[in-house]
Amino acid sequence: MLNVLAVGDVFGEPGCAFVKKHLRRIIRQENADLTIVNAENASLGSGTDPQDAQLLFDAGADVLTGGNHSFRKYSAFGMLEENDCVLRPLNFPPGSPGKGWCIVPVKSGLRALVISVCGQVFMDPVDSPFFAVERLLDEQKGRFDFAICDLHAEATSEKQVFAHRFDGRIKIIFGTHTHVPTADERLTALGGAYITDIGMCGGEESVIGLTYSSVESRYMQNIRRKGVAESKNIALNGAVFTVNESTLCVTAVKRIKYTEGDLL
Ligand SMILES: [Fe+2]
């Protein structure tokens, strides 16, 4: 059995500090063979700079996935070009720095294709995730044993149609971006697993990772203040997928949530 750990959007300095302190232990506890971390909110809640990417790798991440904020830090461009395991969404415009996929060796000589892709509904404009992923699967056919996709998207319906479309061809499909975990994890008809959103690593009592006081005025007075990352009561949310190495089917999917109290 092979375990894939997916960690939801790591939010700002508090999220990074939690990952730095605890991810190794969580990896051990969950027997993870491959750890994928969504990093698009790691640096000040928007984007990923090279220092924070290194922090996440040092903490045990094998692949960093992206999202709509992937290009917020210009300092990320070099790293996106040079490090195959730092991904930005596959369906960003042609010519964008970096790439949206990588193939990583895992247990038993298996090769996992990891894809990062963005949704289109209620999101900044990007190309169709459906056609971009179809093209990629065609191009990489025979070069990988099973595929994993972080679908960074807002709309549940778009995520569900994506899961249906790629069922069996992408064995693990998990959503990110809303920062709120959903309770719909399931094994699929064709041997895969799906969950609409795995949540985030950030303050539990927050507005998707930001303090109430820094966000409230947007809604109460139409005044947009600089967001401040909530630093109290951090929880790391994610999911663990168990893959049978012979059949390459997913046999289990489990939501996880760790707080400081769970790790004393
Ligand atoms: Fe996002």
Q: Interior CA angle at 130 toward 71 and 76, to 5°? A: 15
Ligand 1 center from residue 113 Cα (angstroms): 21
All structural domains of the chain, each given as residue ranges with its CATH number in brackets, are 2-203+232-263 (3.60.21.10)
- List, for residues 135-193, the tens digit of each pLDDT value: 999 999 999 999 999 999 999 999 999 999 999 999 999 999 999 999 999 999 999 99
Q: How far is CA 249 from the centre of its chain?
A: 21
Computed on alpha carbons and rounded to an integer, the radius of gyration of the chain in Å comes to: 17
Ligand 1 center from residue 100 Cα (angstroms): 15
Per-residue confidence (pLDDT) for residue 44, from 0 to 100: 86
Asked if the model's pLDDT at residue 264 lies above 90, the reply is no
Could you give the CA distance from residue 62 to residue 222 in angstroms, rounded to a whole number? 41
Rounded mean pLDDT of the chain? 97
More confidently predicted of 129 and 108: 129
Ligand 1 center from residue 177 Cα (angstroms): 4
DSSP state of 226: P
Per-residue confidence (pLDDT) for residue 6, from 0 to 100: 98
Catalytic (active site) residue 22? no
Task: Name the strand (E) or helix (H) holding 126.
Answer: none
| Candidates 69, 152, 177, 179; catalytic one | 69
Per-residue confidence (pLDDT) for residue 187, from 0 to 100: 98
Q: Tell me the pairing of strands 186-187 and 193-195.
A: antiparallel
Which residues make Cβ contacts (< 8 Å) with residue 125, sequence separation at least 6? none
Per-residue confidence (pLDDT) for residue 110, from 0 to 100: 98
Ligand 1 center from residue 169 Cα (angstroms): 25
| Whether this model's pTM surpasses 0.75 | yes
- List, for residues 75-106, the tens digit of each pLDDT value: 999 999 999 999 999 999 999 999 999 999 99
Asked if the model's pLDDT at residue 256 lies above 90, the reply is yes
Could you give the CA distance from residue 4 to residue 45 in angstroms, rounded to a whole number? 25
The model's confidence at residue 10, banded by pLDDT at 50, 70 and 90, is very high
Could you give the CA distance from residue 80 to residue 102 in angstroms, rounded to a whole number? 12
Ligand 1 center from residue 20 Cα (angstroms): 21
Q: Answer for the pair 180, 203: CB distance below 8 angstroms, yes or no.
A: no
Per-residue confidence (pLDDT) for residue 45, from 0 to 100: 79
Per-residue confidence (pLDDT) for residue 89, from 0 to 100: 98
Ligand 1 center from residue 146 Cα (angstroms): 25
- List, for residues 37-71, the tens digit of each pLDDT value: 999 999 987 999 999 999 999 999 999 999 999 99
